[in-house]
């Protein structure tokens, strides 16, 4: 996700969807009562008053959100509501935005909560996990550090990879790439190294690495050329997989800590009633809710109670973590009712 504009003073954030993962993130952020403005196709009547002829025309409209539906398996996010702003020839009726890759939308809230802003920033690929990318072929290599928006080129080197039947500098070039990967891994405390190349060059690099412990950090990807390599990695399934792996690892750590506190009757609550009491007491340090519970309660009309707990925790400077019910940590939390909290102190419920 790209954050195109941010005017929090007016409650406005404009974003562009750049991956399917962004749809899931937005489904956790957009709520009934929010305002969403975007470009869409509407059927417009043409001709005089009695004409029945219509055409589909791209227009910018703004609606007040009434419902949010995210279908994981079809990767569709639908946001429906009444149109409040539109060109004169567009009737003020109900409309549904369908979010997909490339969609640009402005989301306006009366107040953005911390966990909502965190979700947007996370989706905009705030790469705290520190990822170094190397795109290379037989003649050149480019190294870059991924940033929250885009990347910073660290170095560009040239070499000549060995041709068939020759014993020349090829392995030296691979060794030079490996040397820089090791240097940047240490300098930036990188948790992942993505090496991308056309053809089979990345496989040759892995052979050169042998049993080097650096190999445990490496994820391979394919690019069409070195010049386009870094940009292609930013859109690659490999990078999305790395980021998803990091999110799952964080969720696993939270759930492990929760179960540890529960086992020793420590500072933890689980289930709706216990967690609600802890939230009302201002005791929540980290609130965990599964997206499965959020979707279920939105559908049956009981989400207001969950939302109140989330807002209460956020207001009391607690962290709110939304876990994916499809992953193992989320499934474990769903087994406890889909909601739980790590507490600052016991509340005596």
In this prediction, residue 177 carries a pLDDT of: 93
Structure confidence by residue, pLDDT tens digits, 22-76: 887 898 899 999 999 998 876 666 666 666 666 777 889 999 999 988 765 566 7
How do the domains of the chain map onto residue ranges? 2-123, 131-235, 248-343
Whether the model clears a pTM of 0.85, i.e. scores above it, the answer is: no
What are the start-end ranges of the E strands in the chain?
2-7, 12-16, 35-45, 54-71, 76-85, 94-99, 104-108, 131-136, 140-146, 151-158, 192-197, 218-222, 268-270, 284-290, 319-323, 339-343
- How many C-alpha atoms does 13 have within 13 Å on its Cβ side? 23
Give the fold, CATH level 3, of 2-123: SH3 type barrels. (2.30.30)
Fold matches, 2-123 and 248-343: no
Structure confidence by residue, pLDDT tens digits, 210-250: 888 888 889 899 899 998 888 888 778 777 777 777 778 88
In this prediction, residue 27 carries a pLDDT of: 86
- Rounded to an integer, the average pLDDT of 142-170 is 71
In this prediction, residue 243 carries a pLDDT of: 72
Structure confidence by residue, pLDDT tens digits, 138-152: 889 999 988 755 678
* Answer CATH for 131-235 from 3.40.50.300, 3.30.420.60, 1.20.140.10, 1.10.3720.10: 3.30.420.60
In this prediction, residue 170 carries a pLDDT of: 44
In this prediction, residue 41 carries a pLDDT of: 76
Class of domain 248-343: alpha beta
Model confidence at 262: pLDDT above 90: yes
In this prediction, residue 84 carries a pLDDT of: 94
Structure confidence by residue, pLDDT tens digits, 263-273: 999 999 999 99
């Amino acid at each position: 996700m790209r954050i195109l504009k941010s005017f929090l003073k007016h409650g406005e954030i404009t974003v562009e969807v750049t991956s399917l993962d962004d749809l899931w993130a937005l489904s956790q952020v957009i709520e009934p009562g929010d305002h969403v403005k975007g470009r869409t196709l509407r059927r417009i009547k043409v001709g005089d008053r009695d004409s029945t002829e219509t055409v589909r025309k791209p227009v910018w409209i703004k609606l007040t959100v009434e419902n949010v539906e995210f279908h994981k398996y079809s990767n569709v996010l639908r946001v429906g509501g009444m149109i409040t702003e539109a060109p004169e020839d567009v009737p003020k009726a109900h409309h549904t935005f369908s979010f997909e890759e490339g969609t640009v939308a402005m989301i306006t809230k009366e107040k953005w909560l911390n966990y909502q802003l965190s979700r947007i920033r996370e989706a905009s690929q705030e790469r705290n996990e520190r990822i170094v990318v190397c795109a290379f072929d037989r003649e050149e290599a480019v190294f870059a550090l991924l940033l929250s928006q885009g990347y910073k080129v660290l170095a560009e080197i040239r070499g000549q990879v060995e041709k068939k039947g020759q014993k020349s500098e090829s392995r030296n070039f691979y060794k030079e790439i490996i040397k820089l990967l090791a240097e940047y891994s240490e300098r930036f405390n990188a948790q992942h190294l993505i090496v991308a190349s056309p053809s089979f060059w990345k496989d040759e690099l892995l052979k050169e690495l042998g049993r080097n412990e650096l190999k445990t950090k490496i994820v391979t990807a394919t690019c069409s050329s070195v010049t386009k390599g870094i940009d292609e990695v930013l859109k690659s399934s490999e990078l999305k997989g790395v980021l998803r792996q990091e999110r799952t690892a964080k969720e696993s750590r939270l759930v492990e800590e929760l179960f540890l506190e529960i086992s020793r009757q420590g500072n933890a609550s689980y289930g709706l009633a216990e967690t609600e009491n802890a939230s009302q007491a201002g005791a929540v340090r980290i609130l965990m809710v599964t997206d499965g519970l959020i979707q279920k309660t939105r559908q049956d009309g009981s989400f207001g109670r969950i939302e109140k707990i989330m807002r209460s925790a956020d207001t009391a400077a607690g962290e709110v973590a939304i876990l994916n019910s499809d992953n193992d940590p989320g499934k474990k939390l769903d087994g406890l009712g889909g909601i739980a909290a790590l507490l600052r102190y016991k509340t005596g419920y």
